[in-house]
A and B are shown apart, each in its own frame.
Chain A
Amino acid sequence: MDWFPLLNSLRIAAISSVIVFFLGIFAAYYIAKLPRAVKGALDIVLTLPLVLPPTVVGYLLLLVLGPRRVIGAWALEALGTKLVMQWWSAVFAVAVVTFPLMYRTARGAFESFDATLSDAGRTLGLSNVWIFWHIRMPVCRQGILAGAVLSFARALGEYGATSMIAGYTPGKTATISTEVYQLWRTGEDALALRWVLVNIAISAAVLLAVNLLEKKEGRGKK
């Protein structure tokens, strides 16, 4: 059994999770401070990928990243590489699809944060950056970690947008989800089932991690 799809899925999920972690947190932090009307509009735009079919997201991404499109053409010219059909192309797709999960959970956590804590920090002469990393983030860590784990889990399972932007090339862009589809389509049911079991095992492990995390938090709160 060739383990490449597993490795590829894990690295795509890991990279996109790191990107989405920081983007989601900073979007949540700054958008929370905006006026209500702007906040509402941005909220809709940023949450849209959560409810759109992944194929629609993939299509929209191809509209900008395709080799004959604005950014895609520029990359081909300047960097000498196509932005689609690479293994890392899937990172674009996965990041866009999982961003809303991180953004919304982080925003929920920040909104329940007691503003007097940061006020107290400021009157004590602590910088806003220090307050963010040493007070706001630790106090909100439960919500933020939940968002990170959820977006990682979703990243592992992404199929629609990934298949459109990275395609399926065995040993190059194959992920677990595209591998399963391919194996089923070509009638290799036994192998497909083995990948399905691998996928279920990973997902169960992630969910177990979430539960353990929550239990630990619960004890800490006591």
Chain B
Amino acid sequence: MSLSVHIYKELDDFTLNVRFDTDGDMMALLGASGCGKSMTLKCIAGLEEPDRGKIVLNGRVLFDSEQRINKSPQVRRVGYLFQNYALFPNMTVRQNLYAAVRRLPKERRTAAVDEKLRAFRLEGLDGLYPRQLSGGQQQRVALARVLLNEPECLLLDEPFSALDSYLKWQTELELGELLRPYEGDVVLVSHDRDEAYRLCDTVCVLSDGKSEDKATVRDLMAAPGTVSAALISGCKNFSRVRRVDATHVKCLNWGVTLETSQEVSSVCTYAGVRAHSFHIAKSGEPNRFDARVVRVIDDTFSTILMLAPEGGDSLLRVELSKEEWAALREPELVLLGVAPENVMTLSGEL
């Protein structure tokens, strides 16, 4: 199973330039809203036409600007789960599912629909209209409908954005469960790194229409490589750097030189440190520096500190456990430390 996407399309406010290959994995297409994620999915499904490029699904060319191939959405066999589920409001649940099996011979349609109704726990709901269902039920119907058409790959467009947070968690567990038997490649569009981390094997970061190299979710969190990937992975602290040697960078905005465990490349422009990667240092450990407490914010389960490093010009956001903070007894200065493996060296611009 493989999906190879290479598309280029001029849009009103940016240019879409996306390139990735999947190989039997569940991939997250991660990016801020309005960065071209949905447009990418529409191009794969054939609902929009790229200006240039090539899309190949399991060896089948769906789009190739050079050979002037542009298959219609009807024959692409690309499953598309829409953000608002796009259930046909004039049809019952059963009729919605029937619409997806119209190419099957008549006598096999009922059996196929009944089987999906069972597998997706929709029995008893088949006579209801979409507006009579809860958000989670609507999503199950939409997914059942997409899978009934036996697509060769599956595109999920922000599948949880229409749900509130309690339902979101439950639906996410369900979706993971329901997708387990599916053998085709899956592309999940999301702006939520946690969702991507829990559900997907790999991730491709999209910023302002441009895609970065695909990485495993673990690698994205440990070593995002670029500033935009670090941003989308949730990193809060960035400083412009000058390379000192293979394992040291001078952080210009923080006024401190940090040791890294990754080798510092010549294209390294920034260092990134996650808010929870900082800790209160003991004297003698590497990568420690003084910072003045500017603000203390009490969050749900942790304490967030805004700190001004001595000799730096930008604030740091540091997250400590409530106990750790309480033990310090409201100091004016703290001695911060960060382990060399938690200093991420990044290329690109902020």
Contact = CB atoms under 8 A, between A and B. Distances in A.
Interface of A: 114, 116-117, 119-127, 130, 134-135, 138-139, 221
Given A116-B82, A117-B88, A135-B88, A122 B149 contact: no
B88 A119 contact: no
B82 A125 contact: no
Interface string B322-338: 00000000000000000
Given A119-B47, A135-B90, A139-B90, A124 B84 contact: no
Nearest to A128: B74
Contacts of B75: 125
B76 interface: yes
Contact of A123 (B76, B90, B131): B76
B230 to A, nearest CB: 33
Contact of B73 (A114, A122, A138): A122
Contacts of B46: 122-123
Interface string B76-93: 111110101010111000
Given A119-B47, A119-B80, A120-B80, A125 B103 contact: yes
Nearest to A141: B90
B146 interface: yes
A87 B89 CA distance: 43
Given A125-B74, A139-B89, A120 B102 contact: no
B298 to A, nearest CB: 42
Most A-side CB within 10 Å, residue of B79, B82, B84, B88:
B88
A120 B88 CA distance: 9
Given A116-B84, A117-B86, A138-B90, 15 more contacts: A114-B84, A116-B86, A119-B45, A120-B86, A121-B99, A122-B73, A123-B46, A123-B47, A123-B146, A123-B149, A125-B75, A126-B74, A127-B74, A130-B102, A135-B88
B145 interface: yes
Nearest to B74: A125
A122 to B, nearest CB: 4
A31 to B, nearest CB: 21
B339 interface: no
A137 to B, nearest CB: 9
A114 B88 CA distance: 10
Contacts of A138: 90
B100 A124 contact: yes
Contacts of B84: 114, 116
Contacts of B102: 125-126, 130
A123 B99 contact: no
Nearest to B88: A135
B89 A124 contact: no
29 contacts: A116-B86, A117-B89, A119-B73, A119-B82, A119-B86, A120-B80, A120-B86, A121-B99, A122-B46, A122-B47, A122-B73, A122-B74, A123-B73, A123-B78, A123-B146, A124-B146, A125-B74, A125-B75, A125-B77, A125-B100, A125-B102, A125-B103, A126-B74, A127-B74, A130-B102, A138-B90, A139-B89, A139-B90, A221-B131
Contacts of A123: 45-47, 73-74, 76, 78-80, 146, 149
B82 A120 contact: yes
Contact of B145 (A114, A117, A124): A124
A126 B96 CA distance: 12
Interface string B128-163: 000100000000000001100100000000000000
Interface in B17-56: 42, 45-47
Given A114-B86, A117-B86, A138-B90, A124 B47 contact: no
A126 B99 contact: yes
Closest 9 A/B residue pairs (Cβ):
A120-B86, A138-B90, A122-B73, A123-B80, A116-B86, A125-B74, A124-B100, A123-B73, A116-B82
B261 interface: no
A206 to B, nearest CB: 25
Contacts of B45: 119, 123
B90 A122 contact: no
Contacts of B74: 122-123, 125-127
B72 interface: yes
A122 B46 CA distance: 9
Most A-side CB within 10 Å, residue of B47, B72, B90:
B90
B90 A125 contact: no
Contacts of B145: 124
Nearest to B150: A125
Contacts of A135: 88, 90
Contacts of B100: 124-125
B149 A124 contact: yes
Given A119-B47, A135-B88, A139-B89, A125 B149 contact: yes
A116 B157 CA distance: 12
Contacts of B90: 135, 138-139
Nearest to B95: A134
Contacts of A130: 102
A119 to B, nearest CB: 5
Interface in B84-118: 84, 86, 88-90, 99-100, 102-103
B141 to A, nearest CB: 12
